[in-house]
Amino acid sequence: MELTHETISLKLRHTFRTSREASDVRRNVVCKIQHQGVEGLGEAAPSTYYNQDAQTVSKALDDIALKLKDDPFALEGIVSEMWHLFPGEAAARAAVDMAIHDIVGKMLDVPLYRLLGLDPQKTPQTSVTVGLDDIEVMQKKVLELDQAPILKIKLGTQGDMDIVRAIRQISTATIRVDANAAWTAREALEKISALMEYDIEFVEQPLAADDLEGLRWLKKRVKVPIVLDESVRIAADIPALVDCAHGINIKLMKSGGLREALGMIHVARALGLRVMLGCMLETSLAVTAAAHLSPLVDYADLDGHLLIENDPYSGVDVVGGKLVLPQRPGIGAVTSAEGR
């Protein structure tokens, strides 16, 4: 198999701001793998939070290209070797994992969901994220999303309650909130208790990723479900979180790809946890790959492509908030021009 890659610059529709960072442009890396005339596509959306950027991803992909075996059906061996050689480059591994799944689906002429034995009718609705900003700007963003049935509101400021109050005044959508690890345990207890007035579905990552003691304390005292994101990357992280939360947020860019993400879903289910599929700021290529797993989960936050102004791909559709998977073989993502 022959691997090549290119870095793409993505312009965001709005400044994307969380309690940690803000950005207007993202640089992702598209991975292309050729095998017997079939091209598989994958995408890396690196995050500085995980000490990755387009340069580290590109370097990892160059190294993976030198070691890539010539059988796309040997996925277990390929994924295991990448994990061993590049443990810190989950986004790069995810891109290769995606591209190989894409090749296999195309060679067998089946969509990825069918390859996995899943029912495309069971996809959930996805939330759409509203980044932190002045309250008036956040309200304007919400009004632009008037057809979105679920909103995920970024929090982590002194004005959190004012933000949620202002959004609830203009929207009847389901609201989820995400503090991105910005609160202390007692602050979280106070805010979550107050947020119940606004009919919040759940709270994502209220405390620091490694504050498991605080999360256990908090879970015992709140009535709103807690879903953890930054606290969990791979399946091995999940057992320690059972007493800390009600659910986990799985992302391909954290797990290293579809194969590990699928394993995480099964582990979480076995431990009685709810499951959400999320994403970074990704194009329709990576979002579509993740969406093929969505019939297995409770919640979806697969909106990265909706936040990008110049998405070069098309794939999964969002109709009335519901994810609609493509029928094309493999991942089913194509360039925007091809998708017309």
- Nearest alpha carbon to residue 105 among 340, 315, 264: 315
What integer is the mean pLDDT of 64-72? 93
What integer is the mean pLDDT of 278-298? 98
In terms of pLDDT, which residue wins out, 24 or 44? Answer: 44
Residue 19: band (very low, low, confident or very high) from pLDDT cuts 50, 70, 90: confident
pLDDT at 340 > cutoff 70: no
At position 273, the amino acid (one-letter code) is L
Q: Residue 7's pLDDT is what?
A: 98
In three-state secondary structure terms, 251 is coil
- Nearest alpha carbon to residue 112 among 125, 124, 95, 98: 98
Beta-strand pair 322-324/317-319: antiparallel
What integer is the mean pLDDT of 278-291? 98
Q: Residue 79's pLDDT is what?
A: 92
At position 41, the amino acid (one-letter code) is L
At position 218, the amino acid (one-letter code) is L
Q: Residue 146's pLDDT is what?
A: 82
At 121-169, the pLDDT tens digits run 999 999 999 999 999 999 999 999 988 999 999 999 999 999 999 999 9
Phi, psi values for residue 25, rounded to 5°: -135, 140
Spatial distance between the Cα atoms of 74 and 70, rounded to a whole number of angstroms = 9
At 71-86, the pLDDT tens digits run 999 999 999 999 999 9
Phi, psi values for residue 242, rounded to 5°: -55, -40
pTM: 0.95
Q: Residue 241's pLDDT is what?
A: 98
Number of residues in the chain: 340
Query: Domains plus CATH for the chain?
Result: 2-109 (3.30.390.10), 115-339 (3.20.20.120)
Q: Residue 17's pLDDT is what?
A: 85
pLDDT at 269 > cutoff 70: yes
What integer is the mean pLDDT of 55-84? 94
Q: Residue 243's pLDDT is what?
A: 97
pLDDT at 205 > cutoff 90: yes
User: According to DSSP H, which parts of the chain are helical?
Assistant: 54-67, 75-85, 90-108, 112-115, 135-144, 160-170, 185-195, 212-219, 252-255, 258-270, 284-291, 336-339
